[in-house]
Amino acid sequence: MSLSSSLGNAGTPSLRTLPCRPVLLIAAALGMAGLVPLGLDPQGYTLRVLTLTLLFAAMAQSWNIVGGLANQISLGHAGFFGIGAYTSTILLRDLGVSPWLGMIAGMGLAGLAAAILSVPTFRLKGHYFALVTLAFGEVMRVIANSWSSVTGGPVGISVPFAPNSLWMFQYNTVRPYYYVSLIALVLVSVVFWRIKTGALGYRLRAIKENPDAAEVIGIDTYRAKLMAGLVSAVLTAALGTVYAQFSYFFDPDTIFGVASISVRMALIAIVGGVSLTFGPIVGAFFIIPLEEISNAALAGRAAGLSAFVYGALLIAIILVKPQGLLALFGDLYKRLRKESSR
């Protein structure tokens, strides 16, 4: 058999379907997630926390494309998030443009920013990449603080009030934002899963493990990393618009915050299980409620106590299972099965 025939006659693609059980589990989880708000106060605190949880899960999922698949630990994703939030809000405030259109404009700007950022960061990895992306987020924060005539400066910016409207993406209850966040999480997760199981996912894994070997088998490492960075930035910017519409008001220190946005996105993905499709979802459903509970239970007792307890718990998890909570649950499940089969 000739080499060309052994390689050239690759079979036609078979229709690959997901195993039945996971699909049913995902459908059941989505069904439950769809029903949950119906039993909760539409203006209530619980629904608000759940909405933020879904939104942060989606943000961590978009970070996971760069941080998980390409192993480029970005600490500057707040830059893209803020670009999305500011673009749609400024367009709405000054020109009355629908936030959905503003979202598209923000995605375009974030994509442009990611393309520009890719030039100095292409050859960087590890700490150096993290530091440059951190600087990018900080530069964006400084610009927003300084450019008061457009951004409102340190005072912040408010989303102009509009009556309930899908087109203007504004509601007087939390419930619609919950559903938008849920849909956003599903969409971002589908994009992540498609990248992970597609050609780009294989290429990113190859680059992550050995860039020289990846190059000599024909992988354009710059292009693959750029693609991952663009998709991640664009999705993060879209979520910035969702956050802006949901919160009605934000300022540069909040929207471009290193700890509140950039590090939190990375942390959620890492604690849940970096590069895993369900990692950021598990991470968000652990971290956001944990923050809220520790704040509610401990904030009034001693200054910094809630942050201390929250931080200590995260350190414990990372020390016990650096691969994240999903791996920890996997180990526990295996142990339980072993014990029940005895």
Judged by CB under 8 A, which of 198, 300, 311, 322 binds other proteins?
Answer: 198
Q: 221 or 294, CB closer to other proteins?
A: 221
Instruction: Give the alpha-carbon dihedral of 80, 83, 88, 91, to 10 degrees.
Output: -160
Structure tokens that stand for 5 in this block: 């025939």
Q: In angstroms, rounded to a whole number, what is the distance separating the alpha carbons of residues 53 and 182? A: 10
Provide the minimum distance between the beta carbon of 223 and other proteins in the complex, in angstroms, as a whole number.
8
Contact 200, 227 (CB under 8 A): yes
Q: 172 or 210, CB closer to other proteins?
A: 210
Stretch 221-280 residues interacting with other proteins (CB under 8 A): 221
Judged by CB under 8 A, which of 220, 260, 311, 312 binds other proteins?
Answer: 220
Structure tokens that stand for 166 in this block: 């899908």
Contact 84, 239 (CB under 8 A): yes
Judged by CB under 8 A, which of 20, 35, 217, 303 binds other proteins?
Answer: 217
Judged by CB under 8 A, which of 158, 205, 298, 321 binds other proteins?
Answer: 205
User: Helix 221-247 and helix 45-64: axis angle, to 10°?
Assistant: 170
Q: 138 or 215, CB closer to other proteins?
A: 215
Provide the minimum distance between the beta carbon of 19 and other proteins in the complex, in angstroms, as a whole number.
16
Provide the minimum distance between the beta carbon of 118 and other proteins in the complex, in angstroms, as a whole number.
16
Provide the minimum distance between the beta carbon of 225 and other proteins in the complex, in angstroms, as a whole number.
12
Looking at residue 33, its amino acid is: A
Site string for other proteins, 6-25 (x = CB under 8 A): xxx-xxxxx-x---------
Residue 340 interacting with other proteins (CB under 8 A)? no
Return the SS3 of 329. Answer: helix
Q: Which residues, at least 6 apart from 26, have a Cβ–Cβ distance to it below 8 Å?
A: none
Distances from the Cα of 254 to the Cα of 64, 172, 189, 216, angstroms: 22, 22, 25, 44
Binding footprint of other proteins on the chain (CB under 8 A): 1-4, 6-8, 10-14, 16, 197-199, 202-203, 205-206, 209-210, 212-221
